[in-house]
Amino acid sequence: MTATIVAGGVDFTVRAPCAGAVWLCLFDGDTERRIAMVRSGDVWHARVDGAREGTRYGFRTDADPAKLLVDPHAVTLDRRFAYDPHLRKPRIDTAALVPKAVVTAPLPPLDLPPLFRAGGLIYEINVRAFTMRHPDVPPAQRGTIAALAHPAVIAHLQRIGVAAVELMPVVAWIDERHLPPLGLGNGWGYNPVVPMALDPRLAPGGIAELRTTVAALRDAGIGTLLDLVFNHTGESDLLGPTLSLRGLDDAAYARAPDGTLINDAGTGNTLDFASPAVRALTLDTLRHFVTQAGVDGFRFDLATVMARGPGFDRDAPIFAEIAADAVLRDRVLIAEPWDIGPGGYQLGNFPTDWLEWNDRYRDDVRRFWRGDGSAGALATRLMGSSDLFGDRTRAVSFVAAHDGFTLADTVAFATRHNHANGEDNRDGHAGEIAWNNGVEGDNEDATVRAARDADVRALLATLFATHGTILLTAGDEFGRTQAGNNNGYAQDELLWLDWEGRDRKRESFVADLARRRAACASLADPAIAHDATWLRLDGQPMRDADWQDAPGFILRLRDATITVDRTARTVTLTPSDQPQIA
């Protein structure tokens, strides 16, 4: 921590290697008190007698003393970030515009083994959207981390077989500068400013709220993973705001030989993981959430950036540093194994003890059920994608996620409908594999609705019959829709789940799938290499041509039989000791 409570006061430290002077700024209401800090190498120090827990503070440097800067190691903020054009204009004071860090005493450290490990169902949750419309959650608690510990929420998670929740970003973020003029805001959170401070709207109780919720989920047999963003910060490009690292340690951002900011994340800047200081901040953040909140692990957004220096290196230092860390080495680590930079697609190339989001699974499964994919490709994905990961299944398999069409929209829209985002429908993935069953969008025709329902059930059943770790985005089990918007990051209310209007039959179908998967122990164990028997739907052995042309297959495992029939639009998962039910 860079604000450490000591006897009689607080020690403040901050790294600012290029500064000629740094001031600690203490706030009592709107009154600011500046204290010159003393340099020791790249780090600046100030001891303040009489300061205590709850003291609000920031920093300023001589590069532009008008800009108040947030402590990169802050763990508590007094309010959320809000974009203002003055944040990027030099020599305009921003003290009234920037959240203040709050001195916070650490909680007693936790030392718990991970509850969740590879295998099982990960349930991806947008914390705010998940409970904003939940009728059983008290209104004052809706949209917060604490709401995830509500008995009604936990009961739902248990019913559909959730092994771990994966919380989309919960640290404080700022809206991209083009959104406020459009009356929009970032509803996903993938634009953080400092990596440890929880967003006050999501966690009004701070780190203690996250810790209490993680404990309640753990008591229910459910692990917790955090989706963290280390590929960039909300300071964006040179037209972006000056909020923290830009004013304190601008070398944290990767630059090309000509000095321009590298933009491998597509957000205006990229953190430079060739820098030991960037890696140290990352490791400090991970340790903070393990010891202070007890989380089981992490999913890393655009994780390829973390192994760049500037090119991707599968032996990048960050991997060895995490593996050697006594606090982190047993945590679950999940990579989103791509970014938009040169050589940015690195599926299958992360360390062998990491899991990886498998978009090849999503695409091949969707193609099969759309009618233009092969049984062979589906079989490879169903069994854990050995072509990508070898015998040990490291895939996180999913058919839909927060980014892209919802599961229901995948079979109801053939093209994106993102006009509300204010970018003339140019944003979001243009080539997403989706189909509309003959009519674009919402439709009351019984035949169309039945076809869509059959497609969704087939996709869900395929997912639950897949070897290894699987992922379901919250609400896809009961028909969440974004009306064809496949880039809903800027549509806060559109993301809110409709608990009252949910498809309860589909939810029950998923609960039954979860029970069947739980009875097939081999499916969730990534270490098991299956002794599989593959048959045609007529019971005869699969021939070479069948892998390309057959409409399905029968897969026999030691503890289950899986039947895939594209013509009937069904997948059956039958544990060896249970009757077959489609």
What single-letter DSSP state applies at residue 144?
A: S
Residue 392's pLDDT band (cuts 50, 70, 90): confident
Cα separation, 14 vs 403, in Å, equals 36
Cα separation, 315 vs 151, in Å, equals 44
Can you name the residues that pair with 171 across neighbouring β-strands? 198
pLDDT for res 582: 42
- Residues 198-203, mean pLDDT to the nearest whole number: 98
The residues spanned by each domain of the chain are 3-103, 111-345, 533-575
Better-scored residue on pLDDT, 579 or 139 = 139
Can you name the residues that pair with 89 across neighbouring β-strands? none
Can you name the residues that pair with 69 across neighbouring β-strands? 59
Strand (E) or helix (H) holding 121: strand 120-125
pLDDT for res 527: 76
How do residues 36-81 score in pLDDT, each as one tens digit?
Answer: 999 999 999 999 999 999 999 999 999 999 999 999 999 999 999 9
Strand, helix or coil for residue 221: coil
Residue 98 has pLDDT above 50, yes or no: yes
Inter-CA distances, 545 with 532, 536, 542, 549, Å: 19, 11, 8, 6
How do residues 511-566 score in pLDDT, each as one tens digit?
Answer: 999 999 999 988 988 777 667 999 999 999 999 999 999 999 999 998 999 999 99
- Residues 238-260, mean pLDDT to the nearest whole number: 97
Strand (E) or helix (H) holding 560: strand 560-565
pLDDT for res 576: 86
pTM for this structure? 0.97
Cis peptide bond N-terminal to 310, omega within 30: yes
């739907």: which residue's tokens? 537
Would residue 136 show up in a list of annotated catalytic residues for this protein? Answer: no
- Looking at CATH, the fold of the domain delimited by 3-103 is given as Immunoglobulin-like (2.60.40)
Can you name the residues that pair with 552 across neighbouring β-strands? 565
What single-letter DSSP state applies at residue 311?
A: S
- Residues 79-97, mean pLDDT to the nearest whole number: 98
Would residue 336 show up in a list of annotated catalytic residues for this protein? Answer: yes
Residue 581 has pLDDT above 50, yes or no: no
pLDDT for res 531: 78
pLDDT for res 526: 79
Can you name the residues that pair with 4 across neighbouring β-strands? 11
How do residues 395-428 score in pLDDT, each as one tens digit?
Answer: 999 999 999 999 999 999 999 999 999 999 999 9
Cα separation, 322 vs 329, in Å, equals 6
- Residues 365-374, mean pLDDT to the nearest whole number: 98
Can you name the residues that pair with 13 across neighbouring β-strands? 45
pLDDT for res 508: 98
pLDDT for res 524: 86
Cα separation, 582 vs 580, in Å, equals 7
Burial class (CB in 10 A: 0-12, 13-18, 19+), 38: exposed
- Whether the CB-CB separation of 288 and 75 falls below 8 Å is answered with yes
Burial class (CB in 10 A: 0-12, 13-18, 19+), 508: middle
Active-site position among 176, 272, 336, 453:
336
Cα separation, 521 vs 122, in Å, equals 16
Cα separation, 73 vs 57, in Å, equals 12
Beta strands in 432-496 (DSSP E): 469-473
What token pair was written down for 538? Answer: 């007529």
Provide the angle, in degrees to the nearest 10, between the axes of the packed helices 276-293 and 317-324.
30
How do residues 138-175 score in pLDDT, each as one tens digit?
Answer: 999 999 999 999 999 999 999 999 999 999 999 999 99
- Looking at CATH, the fold of the domain delimited by 111-345 is given as TIM Barrel (3.20.20)
How do residues 260-301 score in pLDDT, each as one tens digit?
Answer: 999 999 999 999 999 999 999 999 999 999 999 999 999 999
Expressed in angstroms, the distance from the first to the final Cα of the chain is: 55
Residue 579 has pLDDT above 70, yes or no: no
Strand (E) or helix (H) holding 319: helix 317-324
Active-site position among 235, 272, 301, 455:
301
What token pair was written down for 382? Answer: 């169903």
- Residues 332-344, mean pLDDT to the nearest whole number: 98
Average pLDDT value over all residues in the chain: 96
